[in-house]
Every structure is written in C-alpha cells, then in structure tokens.
Amino acid sequence: MLDRKYIVDNVEAVKQNCANRNISVDVDRLVELELQRRGKLQLVQDLNTQSNAESKKIGQAKDSEERESLKVSARALREQKDAAQAEHDVIDREIKELQLQVPNMAHSDCPVGVDDKSNLELARGKHTCREFDFAPLDHLELGEKHDWIDFEGGSRTTGNGFYFLKGDLVMLDLALQQFAMVELSKRGFTPTITPDLAQDSVLEGIGFMPRGPETQIYSIENMNLSLIGTSEITLGGLYSGKTIAESELPIRLCGISHCYRTEAGAAGRASRGLYRVHQFTKIEMFVFARPEQSDAMHEELRQIECDLFDAIGIPYRVVDTATGDLGGPAYRKYDLEAWMPGRGESGEWGEVTSTSNCTDYQSRRLNIRYKVKDKKGTHFVHTLNGTAFALSRALISILENHQNADGSVNVPECLQLWVGKSVIGQTPAAESA
RNA sequence: GGAAGAGUGGCUGAGUGGUCGAAAGCGCCUGAUUGCUAAUUAGGUGAACGAGUCAAAUCGUUCCGCAGGUUCGAAUCCUGUCUCUUCCGCCA
C-alpha cells in the first residue's frame, strides 16, 4: 500500500501510474477524504485533550459536590470526542478501502503498456533452443511413458489437477531442491522451511485476498488460516511487526514450501499437465533490504535465477514486465520464460520464474521497519522476492529439453550427484550397457 | 485435548482505578574524574501519528500481547482472542 501522504503530495503521478497499470481507482476521492480526515483527527485530539484535563481535575477535587459537577462536564466532553471519533473512523475506513486498491508505483524503466503484449525481452540464457532430429514428446507423454506422473491417481484421491510424482522424477525433483538450496546458501541465503499455512492477515499483508469470490487461495473452514500460494507469504510474515537493525540488512532467505492455488478459471491446452496445478513445491528467495539497496538486490535475484537455469541447461528469455501486467505490490518484475518444446504446436516460452521488487508496499502493510543506530525514528524496509525453482515447471523444462529419441532424459550434470544417474527413463538393457 | 499460571520499555522486573510513558537494576549514549585495557560519578536514553520549524526546539493524541467493554478516568476491573510456561492425556 502506498503512503497516504505520498498519494496526497503526488496526485498526478499516482493517477498516471494507475492508468499505466490499467487499474481504475478514484484517487481524487481518496485525496479529498484524506484531507477531510486530517481535519477531523485534529478535532478529535483537541477534544481528547480537554476531556483528559477535565478528568484529571476530578482526582484532585476537594469535595463530592465539585466532583459530581466535574463528572457531568467530563462526560459531555467525552461524548463529543466519541462522536467526532466515529465520524473520523467512517472516513478512515473509506480511505483504507481505496488505498488498498492503489497499486505500487512502477519503476521508471518499466515498459508501459496495459497488458503482457508490452512486455520487453531483455536477454536470453546461455543455451540456445535445441533443434530436434526426432519429434519431441511433451512432459505428459514422457511422464506417462515412464509412469512418472499420475494425474488419474491424483484426481481419484484428491481431485482434478492433483497428481502423484513417482520414480526417478521424484529423484529429479529432490535434486533440484537440493541443488538450489546449496547454491543459494553459498550466496548468503538462509535456508528456511516454512509452514504451508498462514494467517489471513499475513496473506493480506503480502497482497493476497484469501476469502473473496475469485480467490486463488484455499482457506481452512472455521479458522483464519489459509494454505499458502507461495512461501513469499510466510517469509514476509516472518518479520511482520518487527523493527530490524539497519546493520542486519539485507536479510536473504530462501524458503521451501508447498504452494496451493485454486486456479479458478484457468484452463486450456497451455495449462496442460504440470504447467498449472493446484499443488507444487517451490524454492523461493525473499529479501528484506534498505531502500537504497533494493534496485541492486533485484538485479542480484534476477542473476541468480539466470545462473540456476543456465546450470541445468535450459534455454530461456528474460522479460521485463509491462506496467499493465504487474501485480499490485510490484514496483518492477522480471520473469524468466523457459523454452518448452512440448508446449503449443511446436514449442513455446513458458514462465518459470518471477522476481519482484515490492519496495515498501508490503512492509507498510505488514509493518516491517528498520532503524538506523543512534538516529531517531524508523523506516519501512523494501521487500523483494524471486523464484529459484517452481518444481513442477522446472521439471517440465528439463523433461522436454533434455529428452532423447528413445524417450529417456539426460540429467543435468549439476543434479547427477543427487539423482544418482546421468540418464533417467532408460530401458534396463541400455542402463547396464 | 484437559488443568493451572503468565504476557509491562533493548533486557530483567515493580506496579490492582487518578500526579504512570510507567519504579529499580542492567545495557546503551554524553560529560566529569582517576593514567591504565577498567572503576567511580552526574545526566540522558522507546515508538507511531498529527501540528510546528529551513532544520531543530516545542506542543498534542495514541501505545503496558491483541480486540472490545465498564468508567469522568484503566497497565490496573470485565469479556473475547492469541502466544508462552508447567503438569496431565494422546501421538509421528
């Protein structure tokens, strides 16, 4: 959420930003209400001052007659105060509602455009898209062939969109997790296993709407808990309400959790197989930084994502997300899109990671501050997040890019230690050869 | 899951209706002093919001887990809720 003072002082910029992001919010109304509210607040405080002073006199009153007469006037003052406070609160609630709709400001370098058509390709990975001398299978066909992925069993036990992973694909999944955690801890990230559930207030702080009609979130009946859609939620929530010493920043965390998404309304061939599922595992990077660090931190996260996908030999492109395609909390967002040969007619780019700089948008809601030693006051930290591996999609990219004509799949060298094999899905004869 | 107890400032901890933003100690900061890797001593030391200022100073409001309530007035009484501790039960 943006600071009200900032909105009032930068009305035109905020309005332009809303337009760029294709979000309509009545900013003028918000500003008008906020100015009204400030006046009311002053009134409330004045009345409270008087009311407090009157109450104090009662304690020092000489006799009960004086006491009684003071009580009457003090009660009247309090009632006036309560009335003014109630008016203030009505205005405040309306402002808050509007304020929550205002998206974060966008980075000045963000491509401007109302949707993803304006996204800008910034770079390509180290590996080029492979030319196949056979007809490549998609990950579902490969998964069925080797009994690696069982959607039928998933829907029988749980429901449509759930799946079982089996056999060597599980080993590959775990290897990716292990590899990412090792790489990230080398780079100063603290490995973190988070809860898979979080309180609704934390979800809201991060920018998710847990209970609305179009929610992406599964929630628990009769409790204020929901299944998390990403460990960004729990990692951000970990510091909610805290004031961090400046010297501790930046704080780099890498979380592993299951992620749950209802995916209401998403369907179609582009969502086939593991691409869009209700549950997957994700390794997520999360950083708390000082404001002046956050741009550089964002580049660092992007570079790590590139390094990880370079390491597993996947061709990808880096996309700078256009204003209209940014989520509400993001100031700037980069996506890595991996080449998926089995996607669409003859291969397509598919989003595998996403890294956002949310500046102080989340920390303001979650009340996460930092303090500079020996200086008065506190400031909001900047928060950033980035995907290391979303396992389901990383698996798609490996299966489809590293498949062989016989349906076996080469294991990237950096993962072989944990998989225990250099090729998976070979016939027993080939394996012993 | 059952029972009992507790949640106060950076930390320990006092405070059961009015001068409490809150004793005391520790820590930290500033100064003094003794020439010795420290002791002694004086003073200072929370945050948010609003007003004010070039910036300060200053003033006001709020904050004693959280949310409500009672009252002229609440850290203190009442209700709900969360968390922690101990004991019991259950259990991978």
pLDDT per position as a tens digit, A324-355: 999 889 999 999 999 999 988 889 999 999 99
What is the set of active-site residues of A?
A: 261, 276, 351, 354, 393
Give the bases of strand B that a protein CB approaches within 7 Å.
Answer: 18-19, 29, 47-51, 60-62, 72-73
Nearest nucleotide over every DNA/RNA strand to the A67 CA, judged by C1': B72
Query: ipTM of this predicted complex?
Result: 0.82
Q: Where are the domains of chain A?
A: 4-101, 116-432
Q: In which element (H, E) is residue A297 found?
A: helix A294-311
**Element counts in chain A: helices (H) and strands (E):** 14, 17
Structure confidence by residue, pLDDT tens digits, A24-39: 999 999 999 998 998 8
Question: Is the predicted pLDDT of residue A414 greater than 80, yes or no?
Answer: yes
Distance A2 CA to B11 C1' (A): 35
- List the single range of A181-190, A233-242, A317-326, A372-381 with lowest mean pLDDT: A372-381
Footprint of strand B on the protein (CB under 7 A): A 4-5, 38, 41-42, 44-46, 48-49, 51-52, 54-56, 58-59, 71, 74-75, 78, 369, 374, 376-378
How remote is the C-alpha of A300 from its chain's centroid? Answer: 17
Decide whether A4-101 matches A116-432 in CATH topology: no
Rounded CA separation A118/A112 (Å): 7
**Token pair of A39 as six digits:** 């006046």
Q: What is the pLDDT of residues A256-301, one digit of tens each?
A: 999 999 886 666 656 688 999 999 999 999 999 999 999 999 999 9
Domain A116-432 has CATH 3.30.930.10: yes
CA of A42 to C1' of B52 (A): 14
Average pLDDT over all residues of chain A: 90
CA distance A252 to A187: 9
The CA-atom distances, in angstroms, between A332 and each of A118, A131, A358 are 14, 34, 7
CATH fold of A4-101 reads: Helix Hairpins (1.10.287)
**Side chain identity, residue A27:** V
Contact A305, A386 (CB under 8 A): yes
